[in-house]
């Protein structure tokens, strides 16, 4: 089928592009390369260097490509930047999503797959692993803008019959994660350790996250092409991993033996996040397959080859 992916030069999006093409689909990419990399682009895909905040340019691409399915991964992903620059965050994540939805509606797109947040959108919650039915109480502008995107997508489904699947990701990690432009502690720790620099843990190292390998996320996106219509689905492992455990796993993979610097906790950070992905098993037939330390090993080896050379 014909698929258009926003953010297709980024970490998650480019991995999805590769899989869709490998499965025989025709793919077009929209990405402004703000955090995405030209080197991530699959040469078999059409590429448009366009920002989703440019409504007219987005509409032009949709009219030219006429995709059947849209995978919307372009976003402002940095929680700290969202708190410091809320207008920028809203422009990218809310207005940008509306531009994509308007173009999809105007050109007869059948379905939209949306990458949402399985951590920031729930906020600090006592219910862990957290199911999709839990209260939504984000504590950052990023989480709020992602929630707004979900609401708009469901609205377009009700108004215009657009099918959709919302995938709420846990903390995605793996090869191609950008330690400079995207929120990704494994990538940040990895590149610093490989360069002999001491990473900083913000807080005491006891904050926890649910880490899901990018290859498993790609598999969920493949299944969502034909399943999960009008469903909100968590994509995670249900396992809590602390900041200190992440540090130790990356250090083991990088061959690094220094202790971390401990810094103050940051505004907008959820203290504990872990999502229940049993609905993904029921609806998509999906389960995570890559264990955390193995995924970290693959990610660090990729960094060693690509970043360090």
Would you please indicate which residues are annotated as catalytic (active-site) residues?
Answer: 142
CB atoms within 10 A of CB 20: 25
- In sequence order, which residues have a C-beta less than 8 Å from that of residue 1 and are 6 or more positions away? 25, 26, 68, 69, 225
Q: Please tell me the distance from the alpha carbon of residue 85 to that of residue 133, in angstroms, as a whole number.
A: 30
Paired strand residues for 267: none
The CA-CA-CA angle for residues 215, 217, 219, to 5°, reads 75
On whether the CB atoms of residues 56 and 106 are closer than 8 A, the answer is no
Eight-class DSSP state of 131: P
Token look-up 């809590």 returns: 240
* R_g over Cα of the chain: 18
Token look-up 């030069």 returns: 9
Eight-class DSSP state of 192: H
Eight-class DSSP state of 175: T
Q: How far is CA 139 from the centre of its chain?
A: 18
First to last CA, the chain: 37
On whether the CB atoms of residues 121 and 138 are closer than 8 A, the answer is yes
What distance separates the 2 farthest-apart alpha carbons in the chain? 56
């Amino acid at each position: 089928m014909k698929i258009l992916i926003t953010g297709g030069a980024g970490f998650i999006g480019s991995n999805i592009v590769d899989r869709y093409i490998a499965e025989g689909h025709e793919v077009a990419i929209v990405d402004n390369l703000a955090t995405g990399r030209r080197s991530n682009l699959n040469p078999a895909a059409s590429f448009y260097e366009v920002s989703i905040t440019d409504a007219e340019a987005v509409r032009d691409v949709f009219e030219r490509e006429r995709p059947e399915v849209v995978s919307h991964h372009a976003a402002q992903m940095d929680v700290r930047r969202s708190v410091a620059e809320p207008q920028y965050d809203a422009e990218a994540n809310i207005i940008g999503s509306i531009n994509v939805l308007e173009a999809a509606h105007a050109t007869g797109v059948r379905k939209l797959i949306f990458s949402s947040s399985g951590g920031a959108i729930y906020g600090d919650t006592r219910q862990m692993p957290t199911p999709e039915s839990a209260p939504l109480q984000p504590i950052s502008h990023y989480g709020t803008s992602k929630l707004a995107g979900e609401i708009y997508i469901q609205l377009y489904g009700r108004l215009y019959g657009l099918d959709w699947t919302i995938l709420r990701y846990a903390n995605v990690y793996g090869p191609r994660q950008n330690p400079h432009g995207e929120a990704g502690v494994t990538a940040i720790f990895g590149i610093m350790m490989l360069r002999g620099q001491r990473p900083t843990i913000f807080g005491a190292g006891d904050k926890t996250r649910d880490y899901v390998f990018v290859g498993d996320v790609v598999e969920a996106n493949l299944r969502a092409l034909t399943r999960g219509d009008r469903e909100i689905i968590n994509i995670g492992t249900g396992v809590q991993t602390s900041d200190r455990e992440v540090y130790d796993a990356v250090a083991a993979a990088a061959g690094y033996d220094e202790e971390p610097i401990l810094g103050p906790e940051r505004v907008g950070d959820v203290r504990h996040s872990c999502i229940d992905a049993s609905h993904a098993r029921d609806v998509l037939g999906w389960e995570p397959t890559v264990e955390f330390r193995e995924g970290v090993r693959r990610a660090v080896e990729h960094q060693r080859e690509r970043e360090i050379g």
